[in-house]
Structure 1
Amino acid sequence: MLRTARVGAGDEVIVPSYATATTAEAVRDAGALPVFADIDSRSLCLDPASVARAVTARTAAVVAVPLFGHPADLAALQAAVGQGVLLLDPTDGEEEEEGEEREEDIAQRRANAALLDARLTGVTPVTSPGVLHRYHSYVVRVPGNGRPDRDAFARALRARGVRCRVPVQTPVHRLPSFRRELWLPETERAAGECLALPVDAGTSRRELHRLVAACNALGGLLPAVAA
């Protein structure tokens, strides 16, 4: 997409730091400079206000990465940068490429996520109202003192047989190959609080109920660890 748009040497491309390094690497491979912006606390996608602050005379494009299946707010992002900056959506053409089995998987993930939405307590699902979420991951925030409490909570879930993972261990702007002296508060907060729970199509109803029981029993915090 970047090469088709003739983005290259001397250009800047705004990307999220709360993500995998894939997008930043693609920008660099095209010869452009990745510029990191902060995320919205509800969607975990690029925050339009932060993107607007990151725009310079060299900004050629913004890559609106949909985090964990949550779509980015394309209209707000385009309004933030104006018509002179390209807004690239990595999901362009994705729906046409999805077959019947893929749509069934998405429907099952949404059903699993709806069950967790209705029954989980003690953790906060990360989503914006009214969006068509694909739930590549079901991401929640674990309340408390950030990374220590989140990691302790994850260990306790695994001890109870519940699959879970930290979706982004290190923001891209803090990786050695992309290190920038930036303060992106929502990115840092998400990196310390967020946990991904299983909602893939292969997750059984029994596994979902075990997940709910374990999360609710823990209550989102482990007082002994927090102390």
Structure 2
Amino acid sequence: MTFSICVRERYTDEGGDDQIRFGVAVTTRLPGVGTLCPFASSDGAVATQSLVNVELGRKGVEYLGDGLAVDDALQALLNADDGSAQRQLHGVDADGTFAFSGDECNDWYGHCEGENYTVAGNLLTGEDVIADTAAAYESDAHGDAPLAERLIDALAAGHAAGGDKREDLEVQSAALLVRNTEEEADDPYYNDLRVDASETPVADLRETYETAKRGYETILEKYAEEEDGADDESDDDGGAADGAADE
């Protein structure tokens, strides 16, 4: 049905403070996956899938915000879920990772964990989907591109490896979500994107990302120009006032 990736990255902000960004991206051969699977906050990222229980994602990030470690939080939710054998649940927080695949998920299913990421999927063409998604992220984990872009690259690698095996289901979807720990940071418009119904969801998600990124950069340039113009006017007014005083 789905494959997804959750990641954690540490970085230094413009003020020199240490920060963390969390991201999650997902694609499936069903519409509207962005409303069901990906969850992220300044405390972590979680993906819930297979016979999806949305509450596992919602409560997962809520529990992380309450201070629970990701493995404790997600395992507690699974312990209370009568349908856990049919679930996949994985995620990251500031310090750890967690991944679970119930033994009643549909083949091929599985997951993997890296130092700073988790990947999981079910109803896939094979294990290569998970392996290639993880490898694509690892190969550019410290790249200069925004995390949103690198998450799409990871999905694209998994899709190229075979992706969801249900080729008879043409209407598909994809989504990504990125959050960080900066208190006053304005999230770029491309950090929360969805393609709800498409035959080419990963390609369309990339196009949506590129359009959103271009729009975000245009707005930043416009605001910078307006600010520079306001500063110039202020300087001119100050000069005129000085001249009047001299007279």
TM range (shorter): under 0.3
* TM-score, length basis structure 1: 0.26
Q: Name the structure with the higher strand share.
A: 2
